Structure 1
Amino acid sequence: MNIYPAIDLKDGKCVRLLKGRMEDATEFNPDPANQAVRFREAGFDRLHLVDLNGAFDGRSTNEAAVRAVLNATDAPVQLGGGIRDRRAIDNWLERGVTRVILGTMALRNPATVKAACRDHPEQIVVGIDARGGKVAVEGWAEQSEMDALDLAKAFEDAGVAAIVFTDIDRDGALQGVNAEATAELARAISIPVIASGGVAGIEDVKRLKALEDAGIEGVIIGRALYDGRLEPMEALRIARDNIV
């Protein structure tokens, strides 16, 4: 199982939100590139970036910060937030992002997402952010009536590299990952699922690792790493070594 440390970008800085609310942002590092280097030195071999401003604005906003991260680390980077058309997808993949995460596009323009999957194999990730089981879009500001599972199934044969499933109500709250809902989604589809939202400590990593066979490919961890609640080497050892 892979661990993706999260770098969430707001106004060029590394922050964490509480349940997706921009007004509840805590700054952890004014230099995202420095944070990327720290994560790499801690042993993490991949990164998860989110352009928070972009998610709300509908276009990439923290481009300079993303470029700085790409220049600072050799770790594969997956990027989401504000990527809303084919030009943006191609642009970021050409600039060195390994995978782009598409959430709002997946709901509103699935045909373009599927076409991108065909042209960029293993580089398109669908982000499904759910509140009460329903998909939220536009930086979680708008609630749809689409069930998370129905959206995931719509991409079953599209060639999606993975699905990032976020429980919005737990994101940044350190309440524990929703392992059961994540595993339920993973069992219902053939696409690998990455858990996101609520990881509070090592027990969450163990719970997800124990459910790896359900189709859970990885976990995104943010605040628990920044707060020091999770020791990187212990988390990596469990994720990689079948220790639960």
Structure 2
Amino acid sequence: MIVFPAIDIRGGKCVRLTEGRFDAETVFSDNPVEVAKRWRREGAEYLHVVDLDGAVAGRPVNLELVIAIAKKVDIPVQLGGGIRTMDTIDTVLAAGISRIILGSVAVRQPALVKEACARYGDRIVVGIDARDGVVAVEGWGVSGQVGAEELARQMAAVGVARIIYTDISRDGTLTGINVEATCALACAAGVPVIASGGLRGLDDIRALWQARTAGIEGVIAGKALYTGALSLRSAIRVAKGEEA
């Protein structure tokens, strides 16, 4: 199981939101590139980057900064936030980003997701962000009017290779991963799922590792890393089953 340190970018800074609320933002660094280098030094195998400005604008806003991150670390980077056209998908993947995450378009334009998967295969990831089991889109500000598990099944049917599932109500709260809902979604979709939202500590990672046979492939670590509640090195050991 892979631990993905999260780098959320807003206004060129590394921030964390609480429950996806832009009015509940904490700035952790003015230099996201240095943050990326730190996580790499501590053993990260893959980085999860979100362009929060892009999620609201509907197009990448901090792409140059994300490209700089990808150039400075020798590990893959996956990017989400505002990627909503095939032209943008082509541009981002050609720029050296390993995988892109499609969120709002999974609800609004499933045909685009199908086309992207046909062209790029497993470089396409769908992010399903839900509050009380209902998908939210456009920077989490709008209801997608579809259940998370139903959308997961639809995305698997059009060729999506993996899904990131975020429980918005837990994101940035340090209240624990919603393991049960994540497992249910993985079973519904039949494709690997990366858990996100509320990671608190090593017990969450142990629970996910034990549930990996349900299809859980990894976990995104955000505020727990930035506040020091979680050590990345320890998290990676537990995620690999090396530390009980």
Length-normalised TM-score, structure 2? 0.98
Establish whether residue 182 from structure 1 lines up as the match of residue 193 from structure 2. Answer: no
Q: Write out aligned runs for 1:201-220 (5 A).
A: 201-220=201-220
Alignment-mate amino acid for residue 112 of structure 1: L
In structure 2, the partner of 1:66 is 66
Q: Which runs of 5+ in 1 are unaligned?
A: none
Name the SS for the 2:5 alignment partner: strand
Q: Which runs of 5+ in 2 are unaligned?
A: none
Task: Determine the C-alpha separation between the residues in 2 that align with 1:49 and 1:167.
Answer: 17
CA contact (8 A) 1:129 1:137 kept: yes
Task: Determine the C-alpha separation between the residues in 2 that align with 1:37 and 1:147.
Answer: 37
Residue 241 of structure 1: CA displacement?
Answer: 2.5
Task: Determine the C-alpha separation between the residues in 2 that align with 1:95 and 1:102.
Answer: 17
In structure 1, the partner of 2:4 is 4
List 4+ stretches of structure 1 deviating above 2 A: 241-244
Alignment-mate amino acid for residue 31 of structure 2: D
Residue 190 of structure 1: CA displacement?
Answer: 1.4
Name the SS for the 2:229 alignment partner: coil
CA contact (8 A) 1:209 1:242 kept: no
Length-normalised TM-score, structure 1? 0.98
Task: Determine the C-alpha separation between the residues in 1 that align with 2:40 and 2:144.
Answer: 37
- CA deviations on 1:207-232 (whole Å, 9 max, x unpaired) are 11110000000000000001111111
Task: Determine the C-alpha separation between the residues in 2 that align with 1:243 and 1:151.
Answer: 35
- CA deviations on 1:91-121 (whole Å, 9 max, x unpaired) are 1000011110001011000001111101101
Q: How many residues align?
A: 244
In structure 2, the partner of 1:41 is 41
Establish whether residue 237 from structure 1 lines up as the match of residue 237 from structure 2. Answer: yes
Name the SS for the 2:157 alignment partner: coil
CA contact (8 A) 1:170 1:198 kept: yes
Alignment-mate amino acid for residue 140 of structure 1: W
Q: Aligned-residue CA RMSD in angstroms?
A: 1.0
Name the SS for the 2:90 alignment partner: helix
Residue 54 of structure 1: CA displacement?
Answer: 0.6
CA contact (8 A) 1:225 1:232 kept: yes
